[in-house]
Amino acid sequence: MNSMDMETLGKFAKGYRRLTEEMISARWYLAEAIREAAADGMRQVDIVKATGYNREQIRRIVAGRTR
């Protein structure tokens, strides 16, 4: 990538925006799934193992203080 033109730069920017939107959507769906799992009685330790989040993150998501 020696010379960058506006079209190429625009494509990179568009791809970045698309992936950012997908990430935001995925985080929302994961938070909803975590809340549903907790409501169904899944143990917090199991949610931590499945998601890789720490216990405090899980508590905040379940309490609705974060997404």
pLDDT attached to residue 3: 80
Segment holding 14, helix H or strand E: helix 6-39
> Is 31 exposed, middle or buried, given 0-12, 13-18 or 19+ CB atoms closer than 10 A?
buried
Whole-number Å distance between alpha carbons of 4 and 27: 33
pLDDT attached to residue 65: 83
Residue 1, pLDDT above cutoff 60: no
pLDDT attached to residue 67: 60
pTM listed for this prediction: 0.79
Locus of tokens 């959507």? 25
pLDDT tens, position by position, 31-62: 999 999 999 999 999 999 999 999 999 999 99
